[in-house]
Amino acid sequence: MNKEQFFINSIQNSKYNGDDGAFIDGYVYSMDAFFEDVHFKKDWFTLKQIAYKSMLVNISDAIAMNAKPKYALISIAIPKYYTNEDLQELANGFKKAAKDFDFEIIGGDTIENYKLDISITIISKTSKPIYRSGVKEGDYLCYTGKLGDSKKDLEALLSGKKIKKSSKFIKPVLKADFFYEASKYINASMDISDGLFLDLEKLSIASNIGFDIFRKIDDNIASSGEEYEILFSCSQKNLKKIEQIAKKHKTKLNFFAKAVKGSFRTNLSNHHFKN
């Protein structure tokens, strides 16, 4: 067991353990850290991009639970030498995310620190939360979009190369509209942050089920983290409806596995920068 899991087990109420957020009384509460030299290097992004991505990785959790972000709190630690222009750029990144996803920033804490460290809490609303534990035997497993580029772009950055401004590693592309509309046909879901196979393992544990992978998944696809695509399961009878909704929203779907008795474990390691 790694330290993160040890700490989570030591502290947390098991009732809320294991999902992207905690669902209580109509709201989903989720919190994620986005720390300099842990999740990103400062010269990889502009400050506005850092602020925007720090919000999006949080919003991604809300969407994967079928919840709409309503409010955000930001705890931000800022180096002393940052100018007012730097602060304005950060503020603009946060505000752009709030505008794009229609929520309000209602508070937080601002402190001085040695590096730029951001933690965000998102309060989102849902009438039908979708959990990781909902996969049923016979369900089809699917991920949205295209996987692999985040890993490729991270490797490029780590070897000192530049990447495109449009890279999903810089600006995640969340599939909110598709997923909210498709949600009534979805049995289980989570976002892909650690990599498809590692996240599939989490789904396996939460749903106590195995997966029969019927489509070849390249290692570069299976291990690409920080994709912020959605991994979900649905029953066969809803495949057509989900495909129609995906078509309407121009969202690519990749059905790749079927839920079967057993369990799924992977030897692939976490391909976040953070590890």
The Cα 52–Cα 57 span in angstroms is 9
Task: Specify the residue, 7 or 214, whose C-beta has the smaller distance to a second copy.
Answer: 7
The residue (of 16 and 214) whose beta carbon lies closer to a second copy is 16
E-strand stretches of 162-271: 188-191, 210-213, 230-234, 253-260
Segment 8-47, which members bind a second copy (CB under 8 A)?
8, 10-13, 16, 21-22, 24, 29-33, 35, 37-39
Cβ 121 to a second copy, closest distance in Å? 4
Minimum Å gap between C-beta 112 and a second copy is: 7
Q: Which of residues 181-240 bind a second copy (CB under 8 A)?
A: none
Cα–Cα distance measured from residue 199 to residue 233, given in angstroms and rounded to the nearest whole number: 13
Residues 6+ apart with CB under 8 A from 85: none
Distance CA 177, CA 126 (A): 14
CB-nearer residue toward a second copy: 37 or 219: 37
Among 41, 42, 107, 236, binds a second copy (CB under 8 A): 107
Contact between residue 59 and residue 67 where contact means Cβ atoms under 8 Å apart: no
* 10 annotated binding-site participant: no
Output 12 or 236, the one with its CB closest to a second copy: 12
Q: Which of residues 111-170 bind a second copy (CB under 8 A)?
A: 111-114, 117, 119, 121, 123
- Residue selected from 41, 106, 212, 248 as contacting a second copy according to rule CB under 8 A: 106
CA–CA dist 219, 17 (Å, integer) = 28
* 109 is annotated as contributing to ligand binding: yes
Burial grade of 47 (CB within 10 A; 0-12, 13-18, 19 or more): buried
Binder to a second copy among 88, 208, 236, 263 (CB under 8 A)?
88
Tell me: is residue 139 an annotated ligand-binding position: no
Which CB atom, from 163 or from 198, has the smaller least distance to a second copy?
198
Torsion (CA) 16, 18, 20, 22 in degrees, nearest 10: 0
Q: From the list 4, 99, 127, 215, which residue makes contact with a second copy (rule: CB under 8 A)?
A: 4
Find the angle CA(142)-CA(146)-CA(147) to the nearest 5 degrees: 85
Q: Select from 100, 63, 56, 55 the least CA-distant residue to 176.
A: 63
Least separation, in Å, of the C-beta of 94 and a second copy? 6
Residues linked to residue 206 through DSSP beta bridges, in sequence order: none
User: 117: annotated binding-site residue?
Assistant: no
- At 241, which helix (H) or strand (E)? helix 239-248
Place of tokens 């991604």: 60
Is 108 annotated as contributing to ligand binding? yes
| Annotated binding-site positions for substrate | 39, 226
Q: Residue numbers of the site for a second copy (CB under 8 A)?
A: 3-4, 6-8, 10-13, 16, 21-22, 24, 29-33, 35, 37-39, 71, 73-78, 82, 84, 87-88, 90-91, 94-95, 104-114, 117, 119, 121, 123, 274-275
